[in-house]
Amino acid sequence: MSVETMTMERAQQLLQTYYGYPDFREGQKKIVLSLLEGNDTLGIMPTGGGKSICYQIPALMLPGLTLVVSPLISLMKDQVDALTAMGIPAAYINSTLSGKEVNERIRAAKRGDLKLLYVAPERLEVEWFRDEMNQLSISCVAVDEAHCVSQWGHDFRTSYLAVAPFVESLRDRPIVAAFTATATPEVTDDMVRLLRLEKPEVFVTGLSRDNLAMSVLRGENKRDFVMKYAEVHSHQPGIIYAATRKDVDDLYERLRSNGLAAGRYHAGMSDEERAASQEAFLYDDIRVMVATNAFGMGIDKSNVRYVIHYNMPKNMEAYIQEAGRAGRDGEPSQCILLFGAQDIITQKFLIEQNPQDPERKANDYRKLQQMVDYCYTTRCLRSAMLDYFGEKHEDKPCGICSSCTDERELVDMTIDAQKIFSCIHRMRERFGVSMVAAVLKGSRNKKVLQYRFDELSTYGAMSDRTEKEISEIINVMASEGYLSLSEGQYPVLKLQPLAAEVLKGQRKVMQRLPAKAASGDGTGGRSGSSRRDYSPSAVNETVFEQLRLIRRELAERERVPSYIIFNDATLREMSVVCPQTEQAMLKVKGVGEVKYRKYGKPFLDFFREMGDDRYDGDYE
């Protein structure tokens, strides 16, 4: 038996014992082996893809301590609570601790009582802390949310630049492992360079998550949609993201007045208010959280069933990070983006309010336009997302996004496209969407007349449509590559080679027209329901709810969020299997030996009391 095989068998044994999973997910095994072989490693994996296991399992097998650099206090606490629940010795050091508590945890690390120690990146800049770390045997430094080191990432934090100097200050250089959920090729290069990874193994696990149904809905009454959706799904945990504090407060008050268990989170609240709201959401005391993008990083709540974006985010990285907080347990979940033209204006305003150098601002505008293109595309949304991040993939539809499940007929838009492209050409490619739409509509506004565009042959060529409808068509054309928009606050339309082919009659343009008002199912009539069967024949919902009550009691006793005991996916599998022996319980995914010893008995007692003859306790 090879050393590699023996190593991975040991890793798999630990995975089953502590985490209750029989095998690693796609991509995890390669990363774990790379670290155990002593290589610097960069792992780019989707939110919910199991990044933490990739350094936690090696931490148990490597000698000494694994130091984890983590950006948020809430994330550290969550991770340490989960590890402690599994019987893995871990601790964190952050600003919530007294000096005495910090010293106690460092002493525990020196005694070898800890396998993982979580710290914020700012801590690495403190001289006395660096001195203390130099007295420890650190085998690995794991950098979570590593995209924060790049100024081209969406969460740039200057403190992350301290990681590389800290590693180099240690007597014996440890292995460096870096992890993130989203990274363009540009950000990936930055992570390797700025963290000074030495001959790193780079693993990109598919960002695609089959359990997430992604939807972009345009033309909705956003407020009515959110109220109805939250009411229909009041039994499910969800997050609603809004761009401004005003929208958060408004939605929160309306949800509460409708009798829904809602919370809110934004930077205008006190630290105590935000902490209380976050804890209530984690402990299932509230079902839906309305928040700005200040909420979410490090929130490891696994059973979020939907994420709604009330406004378009500023870029694709932010969107995928936030939407990816749905369905971390692998269960079917919805990611819905409600898009309106006002969102573009809001995001441009936020860019202008943020003082930054011209190069950074230009980059923000470029990323914003790519986000707008995503909102208008008629392509498979999953494919569009993977293309943005430069990930190779099969060019086939996912079958569950709003584009793939759109049943509207394709319409030949070639003549309209030719009118639009011809108008842009005659306007010398010097104007934006609104101005082109005004000319095509035949507007008599001051600027149209000032530039004498009423004399163009294309003036009024689409007078049968509203300017808004014309603008929608132009934006779809841009998202499909017929047109481009320059960077900056006032982007200008430019013709692309595909448009030339259309003007010459060498290519047809087929499109689906903008959708009408959504139907009443809460997903705009496009639910994309190719889902796992969790009907009563598969999952006994009554049993599932009783298991949740047992879990809730244990969570309150242990003072941890419910999902740290067992996540929803584990409870659902239990409700199908109804295990009545220890062996059968240990075969349920997510029930490791340590967790079974700590939490398994009340669940097993429940199933034994059921005494259902249909189940013999065996499960394959």
Token digits of residue 271 = 């630290």
pLDDT of residue 488: 79
Mean predicted lDDT score pLDDT of the chain: 87
Is 432:490 a contact under the CB 8 Å cutoff? yes
pLDDT of residue 599: 93
Is 351:367 a contact under the CB 8 Å cutoff? no
H helices within 377-494, ranges in order? 381-388, 414-426, 433-441, 446-450, 467-479
Given pLDDT bands bounded at 50, 70 and 90, which one contains residue 154? low
Q: Which residues contact 113 (CB under 8 A, 6 or more apart)?
A: 89
Given pLDDT bands bounded at 50, 70 and 90, which one contains residue 156? confident
Buried b (16+ CB within 10 A) or exposed e, 458-496: bbebbeebebeebbbbbbbbbbbebbbbebbeebbbebe
Buried b (16+ CB within 10 A) or exposed e, 100-133: eebeebbeebeeeebbbbbbbbbbbeeeebbebb
CA angle centred on 544, ends 540 and 550, rounded to 5°: 150
Residue 620 has pLDDT above 70, yes or no: no
Residue 522 has pLDDT above 80, yes or no: no
Given pLDDT bands bounded at 50, 70 and 90, which one contains residue 529? very low
pLDDT of residue 298: 57
Residue 537 has pLDDT above 50, yes or no: no
Superfamily holding 212-388 = P-loop containing nucleotide triphosphate hydrolases (3.40.50.300)
Given pLDDT bands bounded at 50, 70 and 90, which one contains residue 530? very low
Average pLDDT of the residues in 559-575: 87
**Residue 240 CA from chain centroid, whole number:** 13
More confident residue, 323 or 345: 323
Share of the chain above pLDDT 70, in %: 92
**Bridge pairing between strands 262-265 and 493-495:** unpaired
Share of the chain above pLDDT 90, in %: 57
Q: What is the dihedral of CA 373, 185, 67, 40, to 10 degrees?
A: 160
**Bridge pairing between strands 41-44 and 201-204:** parallel
Token digits of residue 20 = 């209750």
Residue 540 has pLDDT above 80, yes or no: no
Token digits of residue 583 = 């062996």
Residue 128 has pLDDT above 60, yes or no: yes
pLDDT of residue 567: 87
Cα distance between residue 548 and residue 168, in whole Å? 48
Residue 519 has pLDDT above 50, yes or no: no
Is 32:313 a contact under the CB 8 Å cutoff? no
Compute the half-sphere exposure of residue 251: CA atoms within 13 Å on the CB side of its CA: 34
Average pLDDT of the residues in 491-504: 93
DSSP of 310-344, one letter per residue? SS--SSHHHHHHHHTTS-TTS--EEEEEEE-HHHH
Report which of 271, 248, 269 is spatially closest to residue 96, judged by C-alpha positions: 271
Is 300:78 a contact under the CB 8 Å cutoff? yes
397-437: pLDDT as tens digits: 899 999 999 877 778 999 999 999 999 999 999 999 999 99
pLDDT of residue 535: 38
Given pLDDT bands bounded at 50, 70 and 90, which one contains residue 208? confident
449-492: pLDDT as tens digits: 999 999 999 999 999 999 999 998 998 898 888 999 887 778 99
Cα distance between residue 493 and residue 477, in whole Å? 11
4-23: pLDDT as tens digits: 788 899 999 999 999 998 89
Given pLDDT bands bounded at 50, 70 and 90, which one contains residue 334? very high
Given pLDDT bands bounded at 50, 70 and 90, which one contains residue 342? confident
Domains 3-204 and 541-610 share a fold: no
pLDDT of residue 618: 41
Residue 126, SS3? coil
DSSP 24: P
Average pLDDT of the residues in 508-533: 48
Average pLDDT of the residues in 253-282: 92
Given pLDDT bands bounded at 50, 70 and 90, which one contains residue 513? low
Residue 526 has pLDDT above 60, yes or no: no
Token digits of residue 372 = 């707008």
Given pLDDT bands bounded at 50, 70 and 90, which one contains residue 563? confident
H helices within 535-581, ranges in order? 541-558, 562-565, 568-577
Burial of 220 (0-12, 13-18, 19+ CB in 10 A): middle
Burial of 608 (0-12, 13-18, 19+ CB in 10 A): middle
Is 371:315 a contact under the CB 8 Å cutoff? yes
Is 447:435 a contact under the CB 8 Å cutoff? yes
Q: Which fold is adopted by the domain 411-511? A: Arc Repressor Mutant, subunit A (1.10.10)
pLDDT of residue 361: 87
Residue 503 has pLDDT above 60, yes or no: yes
Residue 609 has pLDDT above 60, yes or no: yes
pLDDT of residue 424: 97
Q: Which residues contact 45 (CB under 8 A, 6 or more apart)?
A: 27, 51, 54, 179, 181, 203, 205
Given pLDDT bands bounded at 50, 70 and 90, which one contains residue 615? very low
Given pLDDT bands bounded at 50, 70 and 90, which one contains residue 611? low
Class at the top of the CATH hierarchy for domain 541-610:
mainly alpha
Residue 535, SS3? coil
Domain ranges for the chain, please list them: 3-204, 212-388, 411-511, 541-610
Is 233:391 a contact under the CB 8 Å cutoff? no
CATH code for the part of the protein at 3-204:
3.40.50.300
92-109: pLDDT as tens digits: 999 889 999 999 999 999
Average pLDDT of the residues in 337-349: 88
Given pLDDT bands bounded at 50, 70 and 90, which one contains residue 532? very low
47-75: pLDDT as tens digits: 767 889 999 999 999 999 999 999 888 77
Distances, alpha carbon 59 to alpha carbons 35, 55, 217, 542, in Å: 9, 6, 44, 40
Given pLDDT bands bounded at 50, 70 and 90, which one contains residue 297? low
